[in-house]
Structure formats: C-alpha cells, structure tokens
C-alpha cells in the first residue's frame, strides 16, 4: 500500500520528535552526570537510546529513508547544505531583530554544517574512487 501524504507528514513529525527527544535527553543525562545523579542520568540515557535505536529507526525504515551508501551520501549532503542555508537565513533574521547572540549561534551552526557537508563530499570522492560498485549496493 502506498503511504498517503498525511501519513508521510505524520511520520516525518514523529521522527523529528523522536530525534529531538533523543538529543535533548542526552543533554539531560549529561547534566545529571555532572551533578553525580547517576540514577537519573541512566533514566535519561536509556530513554534517549530507545528513541534513537528503536522509535526513530522504526520510523526511518517505514519511510524508506536508508538506502545504499551513494544515496545516503547524496541525501546527507543535500540535508547539510539545506541546514547551512537555513542557519544563514536565521542568522540574518536574528541580526535584524537585534539579537546578536542568536545571530552568532546561527552563524556558527551554518559554518559547522558547511564543514560537515565538505566532509561528506570528500567521503563521496574517496568512496567513488575506491569502490564505485560498493556505493550503490543495496
């Protein structure tokens, strides 16, 4: 059965929520560890791990997001460049709003996203040179 547009949007929203929760709970766990609250840290860590390894993974499989290495590299590269562009727009808007702290944060994120995109491009070149067939194996 083909997935409806609404279900695809709902799946995207659910996966974004799972990914956000995973990342945020890792920060919560780190904060608890800094204060030597080991049991609470383990609670956050366990839930964060489940969000990534189970909930997000199940959504990604259902959405068919993981493909061969070549497609995964293309997807990641496009995503990184889009994130960099978004952060650049957000930096401009924050600056226009007079929020120099947020503008600097978005500008740093833009730079980091572009650096990651450069890393992905380099990886694609290396992989293509070493084993082009490996990149497109399912």
Task: Name the site residues for Fe ion (rule: CB under 5 A).
Answer: 18, 51, 55
Closest CB 120 distance from Fe ion, rounded Å: 27
Task: Label residue 54 exposed, middle or buried (CB < 10 Å: 0-12, 13-18, 19+).
Answer: exposed
Residue placing its CB nearer to Fe ion in the complex, 55 or 80: 55
Pairwise CA distance, residues 48 & 73, whole Å: 25
Closest CB 11 distance from Fe ion, rounded Å: 13
> Whole-angstrom distance between the N-terminal and C-terminal Cα of the chain?
22
Closest CB 46 distance from Fe ion, rounded Å: 12
Residue placing its CB nearer to Fe ion in the complex, 24 or 131: 24
Residue placing its CB nearer to Fe ion in the complex, 52 or 81: 52
Residue 30 has, within 13 A of its CA and on its CB side, a CA count of 6
Pairwise CA distance, residues 34 & 135, whole Å: 42
Phi, psi for residue 37 in degrees, rounded to 5: -95, 75
Residue placing its CB nearer to Fe ion in the complex, 51 or 113: 51
Closest CB 19 distance from Fe ion, rounded Å: 10
């Amino acid at each position: 059965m083909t997935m409806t547009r609404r279900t695809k949007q709902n799946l995207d929203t659910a996966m974004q929520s799972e990914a956000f929760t995973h990342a945020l709970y890792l920060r919560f766990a780190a904060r608890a560890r800094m204060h030597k609250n080991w049991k609470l840290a383990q609670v956050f860590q366990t839930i964060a791990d489940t969000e990534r390894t189970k909930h997000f993974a199940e959504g990604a499989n259902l959405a068919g997001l993981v493909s061969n290495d070549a497609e995964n590299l293309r997807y990641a590269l496009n995503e990184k460049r889009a994130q960099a562009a978004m952060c650049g727009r957000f930096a401009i808007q924050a600056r226009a709003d007079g929020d120099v702290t947020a503008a600097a944060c978005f500008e740093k994120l833009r730079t980091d996203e572009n650096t990651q995109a450069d890393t992905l491009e380099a990886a694609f070149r290396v992989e293509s040179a070493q084993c082009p067939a490996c990149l497109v194996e399912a």
